[in-house]
Amino acid sequence: GVSADDLKTVAYEFTNHGKRAVADIHRGVSQHTNGFYNVYAWYTLNALIGNYDWAGGLVKATTYKADGTGAGQPFSIDTVYAKLAPFGTTIIRSEKYENSTLFMRDGYPARRNWYPLATDVYQEIAPSIGDAYPYPVKALFLYMGSPVYSLPAGHTNIETLSDPEKLPLFIAMDAFIGETSMYADYIFPDTMYLERWEFQGSHPNVAHKIQPLRNPAIDPLVPDVTVFGQQTPMSMEALLLGLAEALELPGFGENGFGEGQPFTHPDDLYIRMTANLAWGEKEDGSDSVPDADEEEIRIFTESRRHLRSSVFDLERWQAIAGDLWPKVVYVLNRGGRFQNYSGGYRETANGTQLGNRYGKLINIYQEKTYDTRNSMNGERLAGYARYIPSGMGLLGDLVSEQDAQDGFDLQLITYREIAQTKSRTASNYWLLGVLPENFVLMNVVDATARGLNDGDSVRIVSPTNLAGEWDLGNGHTVPMIGKIKAVQGIRPGVIAVSLGFGHWAYGSVPFTINGTTVPADERRGRGLHINAALRTDPHTPNTTLVDPVGGSAVFYDTMVRVEKV
């Protein structure tokens, strides 16, 4: 349905500005069953006009190091003790299937897909544990994430997470009782973003070299615990240090970072990292940040006088940083380290290049990809960008096309509202005041044809969720019912529902803890959450549709129908 003239216009614009044009993509392009080759195609366009490393072209992320690997950096963050070497394959099978003993036993197709070109296939973790493939798991630690809520078809994780036969021990580190941590055997409270440290790194839309750095601005709303004889706020860091103390692990304790260099408190790590960041990455320290002067240090200290000593202890921080303390203050006062603007670009005889260049070979044809086989049929992967239909199952069946023929006549897509961007932003009541709930967006033509008006309630059903509900595995269900909003700005045949609403935990229902009932706040449960409607793969019905090469979970290839309630 796309106009050929529109394609010509876009192609003309893209190719008639030299290197000052870019195909910039993120997530939506990849979150289809053909996502890897979608991304490959767009990046091939960038290569064809030669825009890598040029102003106006494609940028790589460039981040200041804080881990001690920069030349001359004062603190090695890697423990001085020998590390345990990993062995075997990962639970998501990030190696070639043909190199495994399971291939010798099972051949093609594999029981579950293998991902030798991917490293982080989030949606595979719980289902793989449930299937005990490639091996059973005894314990799972979950930090910050909420796969039940966040993943397409995340409801399929519930069966594994709630079954002690499949997962004997489940420990979550969470600031809330969330849609996933509610199934944990133990929840260790964690800190929120204004209460903790974080080195965020960069993103490939930033041309300059940066390293944003967050440090506590308020006292954490959690109690202190004693670890290695010191008080520290209950948190993920406290849990890990506590385990290290109990297990007497090397690399922790009074000589954790080497003789006379303790690792007994989170500050021992984070102040060292900040000092490395402040020093720079040159042996002679010529790119170190300036020292903060006495007035700046005074402001820094006074501005933290409200923090308890387990969070900010001036003497402890100074002792860790040593002579670099004024530079540490300089970095923390500025929220990180940021390259001067002039360093982001450099003029050459041929035009303006990026100052932080990728500077490596760009392959339009990838030998590594061609040398990898599909674990379902043994065929080599294409080493170049190619067209593959979307909505395809692991065994090659066009499931979306078949679902449409079976009467599921609307394509469901998801998106994020700017006022509700994450699974945890429903606690922000200022945002909820702007947008208290989400809607089922539908083209006016589709709404009229179905006799639907704004505000009408509809249930969303899909081929793998005919009930149109979340089954929580505890005797409760949550219907996927929302209100219609008819608009012109969406393609006919498509409906869209934003994510971030429709909670059934996270404070939206009452919880009883140690005999005390925490009342519900119904504002957090308004709207609907439709991830349970997103289709699962026929070969692995406990997992969403997936891009078998890059491993992306698929948010956009599900056909559904709506039923008026």
Each residue's pLDDT expressed in tens, for the chain with a length of 565 residues: 889 999 999 999 999 999 999 998 887 889 999 999 999 999 999 999 999 999 999 999 999 999 998 898 999 887 666 677 888 899 999 999 999 999 999 999 999 999 999 988 999 999 999 999 999 999 999 998 899 999 999 999 999 999 999 999 999 999 999 999 999 999 999 999 899 999 999 998 899 999 999 999 999 999 999 999 999 999 999 999 999 999 999 899 999 998 899 999 999 999 999 999 999 999 999 999 999 999 999 999 999 999 999 999 999 999 999 999 999 999 999 999 999 999 999 999 999 999 999 999 999 999 999 999 999 999 999 999 999 999 999 999 999 999 999 999 999 999 999 988 877 888 889 999 999 999 999 999 999 999 999 999 999 999 999 999 999 999 999 999 999 999 999 999 999 999 999 999 999 999 998 999 999 999 999 999 999 999 999 999 999 999 999 999 999 999 999 999 9
Q: What is the pLDDT of residue 1?
A: 82
Are 202 and 64 a contacting pair, CB within 8 Å? Answer: no
- Tokens (6 digits) for 86: 């990993």
User: Which among 551, 533, 470, 555 has a CA at the least distance from the CA of 122?
Assistant: 551
User: Which among 62, 345, 67, 358 has a CA at the least distance from the CA of 202?
Assistant: 62
C-alpha to C-alpha distance for 329 and 327, rounded to whole angstroms: 5
Residue 166, class by beta-carbon neighbours within 10 Å (0-12 exposed, 13-18 middle, 19+ buried)?
Answer: middle
Residue with token string 């923390």: 332
Residue with token string 């209100």: 483
What residue type is 486 in one-letter code? A
C-alpha to C-alpha distance for 110 and 314, rounded to whole angstroms: 57
Q: For the whole model, what pTM was predicted?
A: 0.93
What residue type is 372 in one-letter code? T
- C-alpha count within 13 angstroms, C-beta hemisphere, residue 115: 25
Q: What is the pLDDT of residue 542?
A: 97
C-alpha to C-alpha distance for 320 and 297, rounded to whole angstroms: 16
Are 277 and 65 a contacting pair, CB within 8 Å? Answer: yes
Q: What is the pLDDT of residue 138?
A: 97
- C-alpha count within 13 angstroms, C-beta hemisphere, residue 383: 11
In 439-486, alpha helices (H): 444-449
Are 257 and 75 a contacting pair, CB within 8 Å? Answer: yes
**Is residue 22 classed as helix, strand or coil in its secondary structure?**
coil
Strands 481-487, 440-443: pairing is parallel
Q: What number of H helices and E strands is found in the chain?
A: 15, 20
Q: What is the pLDDT of residue 78?
A: 77
C-alpha to C-alpha distance for 450 and 560, rounded to whole angstroms: 14
Strands 210-214, 198-199: pairing is antiparallel
Are 324 and 289 a contacting pair, CB within 8 Å? Answer: no
Q: What is the pLDDT of residue 215?
A: 96
- Give the number of other CB atoms < 10 A from CB of residue 232: 21
C-alpha to C-alpha distance for 286 and 330, rounded to whole angstroms: 16
> Quick one: CA dihedral 85, 90, 95, 99, positive or negative?
positive
User: Rounded to 5 degrees, what angle do the CA atoms 107, 112, 117 make?
Assistant: 95
- Tokens (6 digits) for 307: 């923090």
